[in-house]
């Protein structure tokens, strides 16, 4: 495979694309103009793995006519097809006869029209390559778009279609025999080696407080010291942060650039030398323990923490949500047989005995443990809604907003569902309150509701 490209050209490509020697040789072998090429080639890999750059550099190196169309720049499928036709037109030299034959790009609404126009465009010409970058993320793409574009190389002579995608699905092209070239993610050694090719300088951007940096500074700006410290710093960032939160090379580079200035600040101040990596790691260990550097934000960290502190101090439920929570607490701690005693507007307290006389009340057993100490009991949603309407100071019409507030209380984990019904807002769904007596009592005082009157002892 190495015989297709000169050694000097391979060295140049490897310098532009480090850690991608195998993929470069595979692309050069399959797309070289002196050997037959497949009609369709799939290049796949995760983001920031060098797929697009490798394909572009190899096509430029082997000097084959090619057209590159980026799907992210196309709004609709028709836009993609028309841009593909225009890019193919620009990739080959044109003469006056072609323009007279009406081969200039025009309207192209379907893949069939594109195939006919490309067949006329590439008739009698040498090998050409059409690269569709990110075609799996095309907007408004029908399910038959990728299989149809993959067959353009079978219809159009001397045309190879290269599909650059992120993750190929099984059988997504509806055809067999298509070669695949995989670009794996960069591992630790490869990522550190790539970033070590362009190290940042230790004294490149000293702050106004860095008075030690100057002609009298004991440490000069040495490129060897910067490269030595930068490579070890990148390895430390990968082990602490990037290994789990910034796996691609672009995120890894961004994290390293943001942490470099505070990391070398003691060196700029003259407190440590350029080779005191262990001391710098001990002093700046907090930089590698916080995950805030992994989040892209335009809000300063101090302002974000101040706003977070204000939000944490305010927890205010809506008016009716409070009464729903009161009703749920009463339903959990009151027996259901006593609901008519506490919540019915009119109840007959006297019972008549058959045959006349005075009815003798049932002797109740003495409860040794208060019900509030036994824990909440499950209740159905229909019961808590009835208690809710009974304890409200004013009557309201049952609407969907009440059910929405029940769902909100459930999302806040103030109410916990105990039954496994399909619909959580069904009338017979069982719930249990998830708050204590002290919280409910303090909440009741905010709306001047005497909850102790409705609580059974």
- Strand 415-417, strand 430-433: pairing: antiparallel
Decide which of 3.30.70, 1.10.3470, 1.20.120, 1.10.10 is the CATH code for 319-343+370-454. Answer: 1.10.10
Q: Looking at residue 351, what is its pLDDT?
A: 44
**Over the range 229-261, which residues count as b (16 or more CB within 10 Å of their CB) and which as e?**
bbbbbbbbbbebbbeeebbbbebbbbbbebbbe
- Which pLDDT tens digits describe the chain residue by residue (457 residues)? 445 677 888 888 999 999 999 999 999 999 999 889 999 999 999 999 999 999 999 999 998 999 999 999 999 999 999 999 999 999 887 654 455 355 555 678 899 999 999 999 888 888 999 999 999 999 888 889 999 999 999 999 889 999 999 988 878 888 888 999 999 999 999 999 999 999 999 886 544 344 334 444 444 457 888 999 999 999 999 998 887 777 789 999 999 999 999 999 999 888 998 889 999 999 998 888 877 777 776 666 555 555 555 444 455 788 888 999 999 999 888 888 888 788 776 544 444 444 555 455 555 555 556 666 677 888 888 888 888 888 888 877 777 678 888 888 888 889 888 876 656 667 677 888 988 888 889 899 888 888 888 887 6
d(CA 253, CA 259): 10
Residue 195: CA atoms inside 13 Å, Cβ hemisphere, count?
Answer: 31
Q: Looking at residue 103, what is its pLDDT?
A: 53
Q: Looking at residue 55, what is its pLDDT?
A: 96
Domain spans of the chain, in order of start: 2-183, 188-208+221-302, 319-343+370-454
Of the candidates 120, 59, 132, the one whose C-alpha atom is nearest the C-alpha of residue 94 is 120
Q: Looking at residue 364, what is its pLDDT?
A: 52
Q: Looking at residue 423, what is its pLDDT?
A: 64
Of the candidates 350, 415, 410, the one whose C-alpha atom is nearest the C-alpha of residue 378 is 415
The neighbour count for residue 149, using CB atoms within 10 Å, is 24
**Pair of tokens at residue 1:** 């495979």
Q: Looking at residue 97, what is its pLDDT?
A: 44
Q: Looking at residue 207, what is its pLDDT?
A: 41
Asked if 274 and 222 count as a contact pair (C-beta separation under 8 A), the reply is yes
Q: Looking at residue 212, what is its pLDDT?
A: 39
Statement: 2-183 belongs to CATH 3.40.50.300: yes
């Amino acid at each position: 495979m190495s015989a297709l490209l000169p050694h000097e050209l391979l060295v140049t490509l490897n310098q532009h694309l480090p850690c991608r020697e195998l993929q470069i040789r595979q692309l050069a072998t399959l797309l070289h103009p002196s050997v037959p090429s497949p009609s369709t080639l799939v290049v796949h890999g995760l983001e920031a793995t060098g797929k697009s750059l490798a394909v572009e550099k190899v096509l430029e190196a082997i000097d084959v006519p090619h057209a590159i169309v980026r799907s992210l720049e196309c709004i609709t499928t028709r836009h993609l097809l028309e841009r593909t036709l225009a890019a193919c037109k620009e990739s080959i030299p044109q003469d006056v006869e072609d323009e007279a034959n009406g081969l200039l790009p025009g309207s192209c609404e379907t893949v069939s029209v594109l195939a006919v126009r490309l067949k006329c465009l590439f008739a009698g010409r040498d090998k050409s390559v059409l690269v569709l970058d990110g075609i799996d993320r095309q907007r408004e793409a029908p399910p038959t778009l990728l299989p149809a574009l993959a067959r353009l190389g079978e219809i159009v002579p001397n045309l190879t279609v290269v599909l650059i995608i992120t993750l190929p699905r099984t059988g997504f092209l509806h055809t067999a025999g298509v070669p695949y070239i995989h670009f794996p993610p960069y591992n630790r050694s490869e990522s550190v080696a790539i970033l070590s090719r362009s190290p940042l300088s230790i004294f490149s951007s000293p702050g106004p407080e860095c008075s030690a940096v100057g002609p009298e500074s004991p440490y000069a700006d040495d490129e060897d010291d910067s490269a030595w410290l930068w490579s070890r710093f990148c390895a430390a960032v990968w082990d602490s942060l990037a290994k789990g939160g910034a796996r691609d090379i672009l995120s890894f580079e961004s994290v390293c650039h943001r942490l470099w200035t505070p990391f070398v600040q003691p060196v700029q101040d003259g407190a440590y030398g350029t080779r005191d990596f262990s001391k710098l790691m001990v002093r700046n260990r907090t930089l590698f323990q916080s995950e805030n550097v992994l989040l892209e934000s335009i809000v300063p960290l101090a302002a974000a923490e101040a706003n977070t502190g204000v939000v944490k101090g305010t927890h205010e439920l809506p008016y009716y949500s409070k009464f729903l929570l009161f009703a749920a607490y009463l339903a959990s701690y009151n027996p259901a047989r006593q609901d008519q005693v506490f919540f019915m507007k009119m109840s007959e307290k006297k019972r008549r005995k058959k045959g006349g006389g005075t009815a003798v009340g049932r002797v109740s057993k003495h409860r040794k443990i208060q019900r509030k100490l036994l824990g909440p009991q499950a209740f159905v949603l229909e019961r808590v809604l009835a208690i809710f309407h009974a304890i409200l100071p004013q009557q309201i019409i049952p609407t969907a907003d009440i059910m929405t507030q029940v769902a909100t209380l459930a999302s806040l984990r103030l109410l916990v569902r105990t039954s496994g019904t399909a619909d959580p807002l069904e009338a017979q769904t069982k719930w249990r309150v998830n708050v204590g007596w002290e919280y409910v009592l303090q909440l009741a005082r905010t709306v001047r509701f005497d909850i102790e009157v409705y609580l059974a002892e």
